[in-house]
Structure 1
């Protein structure tokens, strides 16, 4: 059955969205993904530069890109202005996740944008179903960045397929054409791909961070809250983040309560973590990346990544 999301995807050549990763998914990446046949997404942090966000949205609107933006619902409950700025520029898609905001859902529903909800466990899945969104991003624990760590992508996708007829996007560990074929065969209509696009030539990741992703091997990520604690970030505690392991996480992961005490007594630790991110000191600062980083081997353009992922059809045909 067609709905707003499936109709949008009929205009695309590859059923792939770049994940809305703040710090990686800026207008260059969103534009390139759209131009390559996918859906380009902007990542919007909890407290974005509104002028920069407006400029990015204006550019994508001017280019007539197929684009959208992803928001943190818990942040929109405090200030809905960033969403309103984006909606003023006619995005194709808005993705909401990390909590539920009635105000944000209402605002998107008043626009022509496709409404997606990102979910990380069964309770969030049921909430998205009840909200009647256009599509649900089923995010597994393999995924990089913030989210829950409760269920793997393929298991979660199978559960979701049984529970709803709302179109599903799979997220977490989808890095290759074979991975895309697997989730399409499993019932998803598209994939939400993050880690592979962090090393796209158009990604906002600094070169040093891209190289660390390229150098990663299996087992080199950790799901942890230590980077958020050290930065005094406003993330709810049930949304940790999957990142590449480094000296800081090796030291503090599993010692979160002790770290919280240390940060309270030593504010300079938070300053150092923030400056480490700015300065590219990635033995301290985090690089959010999923388990799929073990499969990423080179920097490529978004267009080349999409062309490679588009080979998923060959694997689907072979399986038949």
Structure 2
């Protein structure tokens, strides 16, 4: 790996490989495993009460002496408490998403915290740079979970963002292999963020049923839906069929909210209800065929990245 990489220097990590902060999957076990393997592990605070987040940060510190981050969706109802805990617990890196980067960036940076904002468009990448963030994650519509409305793919988004910003750029969406990592970096990314591949690990806190369904998924088994609320990429199941049946009746936003109900993602990804749960995963799940330790995934991706680089040099 190049020693002059902007992201490895920014975060003081070995590889430009970041594990996404995913709800119901990214607890301290996964984050510490990825950080210990040389990447950047992220605790996903979106599914945690403030006191639970504090516990995960403290356990992560005990499990690794390497840098790790916390991901904060800015729609979170108790965001003030979450940010307070992050500062109190001396977390050095925060990834913000689903909101205006201006709101918290300066405040966090004043406490010596590096701030990265997740975007799904060129416009928001530019706004993030204006807000003073240290880096951006540009996420294509292949990604799992909550997503951009424009359906811009990673392959087109990365070079378009690269053209307009000068701060470090992290690519996300549809990346689960060393070859995918190299492709993203050839397109202009300084690093990659990987979500779905790390769901299929023993360390991910998501339910075994969900992990097994991810491994069984094939091309075409995920769909981006519920755009009127917040676009989300889901595995097809009974809940997804219920959403489709409701769409056939041209529903109001209120009817969609009623069908979604509360804690639908927890039911699916954390409790393992594969019928009624919301099962968020990326399109690349069609390329994930086994559950294996996070450290092995990091090692394999870096090894494949290096061998693919040599192959490309011979083209």
2:312 aligns with one of 292, 295, 319: 319
The aligned counterpart of 1:200 is 201
Mark the runs of 5 or more structure 2 residues left unpaired by the alignment.
Answer: none
Deviation at 1:90, TM superposition (A): 2.1
Q: Structure 1 CA distance, aligned partners of 2:147 and 2:124?
A: 11
The aligned counterpart of 1:229 is none
SS of equivalent to 1:258: coil
Pair 41,111 (structure 1): closer, same or farther in 2 beyond 3 Å: same
Count how many residue pairs are aligned between Structure 1 and Structure 2. Answer: 305
Q: Deviations over 1:140-162 (max 9, x none)?
A: 00000112142101111000111
Mark the runs of 5 or more structure 1 residues left unpaired by the alignment.
Answer: 227-236
Deviation at 1:87, TM superposition (A): 2.1
The aligned counterpart of 1:7 is 9
The aligned counterpart of 1:300 is 292
TM-score, normalization by structure 1:
0.87
In 2, are the aligned partners of 1:173 and 1:291 still within 8 Å (CA)? yes
> 11-20 or 22-31: which moved more?
11-20
1:310 aligns with 2:311: no
Q: Structure 2 CA distance, aligned partners of 1:173 and 1:274?
A: 21
Deviation at 1:99, TM superposition (A): 1.4
Q: Structure 1 CA distance, aligned partners of 2:158 and 2:254?
A: 39
Q: Structure 1 CA distance, aligned partners of 2:112 and 2:233?
A: 33
Deviation at 1:6, TM superposition (A): 4.6
1:248 aligns with one of 226, 239, 243: 239
In 2, are the aligned partners of 1:68 and 1:91 still within 8 Å (CA)? yes
> 274-283 or 157-166: which moved more?
274-283
In 2, are the aligned partners of 1:148 and 1:238 still within 8 Å (CA)? no
Q: Structure 2 CA distance, aligned partners of 1:50 and 1:23?
A: 15
In 2, are the aligned partners of 1:4 and 1:134 still within 8 Å (CA)? no
Q: Structure 2 CA distance, aligned partners of 1:37 and 1:222?
A: 32
